[in-house]
Amino acid sequence: MNVSEAIRARRSVRKYKPGMTIPQEHIDQMLEAAMCAPSAHNSRPWEFVVVESAEIRRRITHLHPYCKSLPDACLAIVVCGVPEAAPNMPGEGFWPQDCAAATENILLEATGLGYGTCWCGVYPDRERATAIAHLLGVQTIPVQMIIVGVADETPRQRGFYDRDRVTYLR
């Protein structure tokens, strides 16, 4: 599958085949793809927590109302932001955008490997981010969580090209 095909094949999957596992090689490929994402000043303001533990995945569902499918999935990859990685950025920095780029790379790599995914936002809900950080034992900020597993559904495509949302300045 090429990149263009992966972009068009990616879906938000909410039903997974329980009891499946993902080989370490594939997890590493998804994480490598994440770390190949662009970041402001190449600050790479991210850390990743791979949650394979069934107990922790179950506990996450009590903290995050939109990840009820997590217990049946294989794992979650929690993308955590490290704001202090680029201290000289304007305002609060670009770490949320950088983490989003890493997240999209994970989604596309997982699609290319044949897995279903669902992006579940965590930050800027500070209460949710703090609770998940505490559960995971991290000092960084959980920005989003990607549920990854063997899809047990094929959602219809929802994204499409809309010319009305494009302005050309020529």
Average pLDDT, the chain: 96
pLDDT at 46: 98
- Can you tell me which residue has the tokens 């997982």? 110
| pLDDT band per the 50, 70, 90 thresholds, residue 38 | very high
pLDDT reading at 20 higher than 90: yes
DSSP string, 50-72: EE--HHHHHHHHHH-TT-TTGGG
- pLDDT tier, 168 (very low <50, low <70, confident <90, very high otherwise): very high
The proportion of the chain whose per-residue pLDDT surpasses 90, expressed as a percent, equals 92
Q: Is the dihedral of CA 29, 30, 34, 37 positive or negative?
A: positive
- The per-residue pLDDT for 27 is 98
Label residue 71 by pLDDT band (50, 70, 90): very high
Look up the pTM and report it.
0.95
Residue 90 is predicted with a pLDDT of 81
Supply the DSSP string of 88-153, one letter for each residue.
Answer: TSSTT-SHHHHHHHHHHHHHHHHHHTT-EEEEEE-TT-HHHHHHHHHHHT-SSEEEEEEEEE-BS-
Q: What pLDDT is recorded for position 39?
A: 96
Mean pLDDT, residues 58-86 taken together = 96
The mean pLDDT value for 89-94 works out to 84
For domain 13-154, say whether CATH 3.20.20.80 is its number.
no
Instruction: Give yes or no for residue 86 having a pLDDT over 90.
Output: no
Asked whether the beta carbons of 103 and 110 are under 8 A apart, the reply is no
